[in-house]
Structure 1
Amino acid sequence: MRNRERLTEKLVRAAEPRSKAWQIFDSDVLGLSICIYPSGGRSFMFDYRAAGRQRRLTIGRWPEWNVTAARERAKALRRDVDGGLDPLAEREEIREAPRFPDLVARYLREHATHLAPRNAADQASMLHKLIMPHWKHRLVAEIEPADVERVLNLIAEGRSRPAKKKPKTKRRTPLKPPKPTPVRANRAGEMLRRVFNLAIAWRMRPDNPAVGFRRRVETERERFLDMEEIARLSEALGAAEDQRGASIIRMCMLTGARLGEVRTARFEHFDLERNTWVKPAANTKQRRIHRVPISAETAALVRTRLSAVPVGCNWLFPGDVADKDQPVQEIRRFWKGIQDQAGLPGVRIHDLRHTFASLLVSGGASLEMIGKLLGHSQSSTTMRYAHLMDSPLRAGVDAVADMMRIRPRLVHSAPPAEEVTPPRSASARSG
């Protein structure tokens, strides 16, 4: 039989702990009780029945909650129960509601696996290193557009990084000042928009807080090598000791292909009779098969590599002895040496792709042709090279202006007139 007494501060304070937790129920409010634990701690409880189930909800610990406050809370809970609600179910729903780490884990498990490996790794890095430290274990349904804007602002500001040169002393490595990264913030915003679209599909929340995120201004880098720089690069590649790395750079320059497409190229991808290169969908950024013609020099490079690699190796540029069954993974150190030898500081391997496009433009190629050769899936990507066509357009405009220009007419001076004696008047003749 339950102990029923009118709860008071004196009664709660005087209750003695026992070997097991025990309760004293309030005689004023049905279901309210004080639970005394063997440790001596005390908590107010509320017992009720909902949908035929006996339920117990903890109101709060004593003395943080006094008897009066606990009784008022129990009255409110009793009204909810009489109205058909289950107060504990609401708490359980919140406790079991998906949190942001749950959403990230499901996104990486069910969606990112369908992306290119490098893209999937990049998104996982952004989620774990740039987003989760700020949102931690927040409920998915609690994240607001203001939270998205706040975290994207922090990403756009950049973060400090250790200096490259190690100090001679054992002092802490100095940090470089943060470098703004607006492009990174835009990519993170696009990723979060996809993440929360899937959260809607997975019934984790009804709306997308990242759907209208503010895009930062991106300044596209445009670095094109001129003919003198191309000559210096060719000379440095010819003198390089590592001709495998030199061939990779040459092929990037000759085809305009991305570095990853060149690294993962296999001999069966090339038709040297028709001089074509068929890039499989797994190797391209747009995840589509990309068939492009290649020059005779590129075909000769492929033939040279065929005689340079071990018999039975299908990789155009296999890795070292330890991983010869895989394509070469790292050439940044080689490229750094070529930069120094050719005097090309700050030039990236990807800038060779831009240079390839600029040479096509100067040769009269259309933007549509450039887009097909570079494998662009959107015409807006190719439009970044439109300004390079200003020179031929300007020449045409100047030619039209030259034809329409008003020519000055040459006016010849009149010969001097003969001196004419004025006629004499009649009076003068008569005289």
Structure 2
Amino acid sequence: MANKNLTDPFIRNLKPPKKRTEIYDNLITGLAIRVTPTGHKSFVYRYRIKDKVKRFTIGSFPKMGLSTAREEAKKLWFDISNGIDPLAEKKKQKSKPDPTLFNELAQEFKEKYLPTLREKTQKEYKRIVDNELVPALGDLPIKEVSKHEIISMLDDKAFEDGSPTMANRMRARLSKMYAFAVGRGLAEYNPVSTIPTYQEGENKRDRYYTEKEIKKLWEAFENQDEPARSIFKLLLLTGQRKGETSRMRWECPQGDLWTIPAEDAKGKRPHDVPLPPAAIDILKEIKSQKKKSDYVFESPVIEGEPIQELKRVVEKIRKESKVKDFRPHDLRRTAATYMAKLGIDRTVLGKILNHKGLAGDGQVTAIYDRHSYMEEKRNALELWAKHLVKILSGKKKSKSFKIE
């Protein structure tokens, strides 16, 4: 066995040998760097337990550096000195069944609990579970979902999206799911039970941004990485909801029309959004990056999934723009407010925002609702986009807000 005072540069410059080679560290007894003919390098720890010599793979180089490998080797020595065989422990961990993931709990909950409810209640539960809870918690083991993570998710809905009522509904459904999990032995306790509800009256906002704030926010958007940069721009240009926008698939925008499918839209009905030229340019810019994803705004963390976490970016925008109370949902209100100032009819605004009460949808048929006001919506959004360009270019706002 070759021995050497190992260093990171020495390991980095090792050439692939003709056969697998181990070079042992003079500083930590038993620690070696293993090099294969393919050039792969990994740290291993050689030890003896019950008269048997074994080797435990610690990690690959350069993902793991030498100093870290030495610390891990010290921990292994301590365990072995106390009669613990690291290889045997590793095998035990592999043989253990994976902990139930939240999306697995959601599936079992829908199959075994929802059928006990009224049909209308089942649909409401399923909508919140599938559209709100699973996207946020789906890949996490249910025993590892912390109270802090749940509060963060609910705060985003209540404060960032401006929907305290929905946050309370999400909390109620999640609590019911954990009660179900506890009853079936899948979880030890319900982490939602001690989380308070949101005071809906105190959380209502009427905040929209001044022209000066819009300029500062847009400059901050420009400084962000994709896809966050384009999401915030599109939210301001179109006035749509953050959740529906972030889940946009490439198949949904066709030419200058973006159709939000029923499964993504609030109210579970398709919603057509005419895209002004500025919005189309944003989508073309993203398309030019040629990323292979079904989603326009793909998560930078989870490949093949839409972006979900924007909280850190929101904090950066607040600091850079000096708009300390910035919230994504206020972009929607800002777009609506300026369109109203530009003389856009209240009903047309309701159609653009897909806001049932504002649009008076209870008085029209579903077919008429889907296809009516298309030209009015298109004119309104293009008028707002042109006005936004004036704001960003620093031109003085016109004396009149009448439609030209």
* RCO higher in structure (CA 8 A, sep ≥6): 2
Same fold (TM over 0.5): no
Select the structure of larger CA radius of gyration.
1
Shorter-chain TM-score range: 0.3 to 0.5
User: Normalised by the size of structure 2, how large is the TM-score?
Assistant: 0.43
User: Normalised by the size of structure 1, how large is the TM-score?
Assistant: 0.41
